[in-house]
Structure 1
């Protein structure tokens, strides 16, 4: 019988996701991953077999955590549609403010994975995880937009599916310009402009 692992696997995956989301797959060395996770190289490879496997599992864990946090505000029926989108923006901007205090942008494993040539092809689980999350995210956002249109807080002349894609575009763009050095206050202003086409006046 194998010896029990001496570390919390989810904690290691969260630490690895934190590294990957800021620095990407290519610029995250095994040594750095071991350092941020607080485990020895042998322990890391015994648990995950390779850097690629660690990335796959960290991505799956990251998507689960993101879905849970964002889903909680987007499904909050005590808020109207506009307030739910604003709460989503608040989550994203809070991450960027916290990261800026540490001297970097928050990053995003999803944006990074889509922007890294060949990464989706390394393992079919990466493509499947990204594609599944893409569909879930757009469907939930479209549902929120339809709710906002029904309660009058969002414009009724915007197709809900197009509005959902606009929100995803705004968030992804925010992650990119944060990596380019835009300050959190500017991110907030730009994001508000990005959502304006959905809002009733």
Structure 2
């Protein structure tokens, strides 16, 4: 790195045994870094934390407290990093939240979707989905309930985009349930007049209610009882 010195308020320059020096105590240099052609700017300080582990910690904070109630201070405390590191690695709280939602859907939230899709019939798929939800929502190894449901509580108008993102996720689940039911209607496993969309709304509401119950302390057995009762509505 080369430096160009700009001499300010220079009055006198005396030469001495050791060479030229400034005699005026008000004189000073202003330095500005310059780079020779072909020289590259030094790399920034390498990230000193595990981004993936930090993302998991942030996910748990949003899951436990919801979007609005989760502060930057709470996030950085849980993640073990300082605010500048959070902004450098994740952008901001809003973008971090979206990344957490995506991570949740690819990991914790994927089990209920698989249970619904992998079963041979819609009824068996919905039964498996409800059983899986009962187990996952009450699992003590992570916060209770479903992030996509619990994080949506108490949003003000300034965070309408957060609610829209979460609503889209919930609507996608409801559409998946409806598609399974409609497939069984076409296959003749359900009566032709079955209202697939109404049934899908009912079972989506059941899943959302189970999430809320889990947050309130319902056990796995209690959530499974809800699932059993809900299946009695099957046509």
TM-score relative to the length of structure 1 = 0.76
Q: CA contact under 8 A between 2:67 and 2:152: conserved in structure 1? A: no
Q: 2:174·2:200 contact (CA, 8 Å) conserved in 1? A: yes
* One of 145, 149, 156 as aligned partner of 1:107: 145
Residue 130 in 1 paired to residue 166 in 2? Answer: yes
Shift of residue 94 of structure 1?
A: 1.7
Counterparts of 1:16-95 in structure 2 under 5 Å?
16-65=58-107, 68-76=110-118, 79-95=120-136
CA deviations on 1:135-181 (whole Å, 9 max, x unpaired) are 322221111122344363x6665311111111110011111122222
Larger Rg, first or second structure (1 or 2): 2
8 Å contact 2:137–2:214 — kept in the other structure? Answer: yes
SS at 1:158 equivalent: coil
SS of the aligned residue for 2:155 comes to coil
Q: Where do 5+ consecutive residues of structure 1 fail to align?
A: none
What pairs with 1:114-153 in structure 2 (closer than 5 Å)? 114-118=152-156, 121-122=158-159, 124=161, 126-149=162-185, 150=187, 152=189
The structure whose RCO (Cα within 8 Å, separation 6+) is larger is: 1
Comparing 138-147 with 108-117, which one deviates more in the overlay? 108-117
RMSD, aligned α-carbons: 3.0
The structure richer in helix per residue is 1
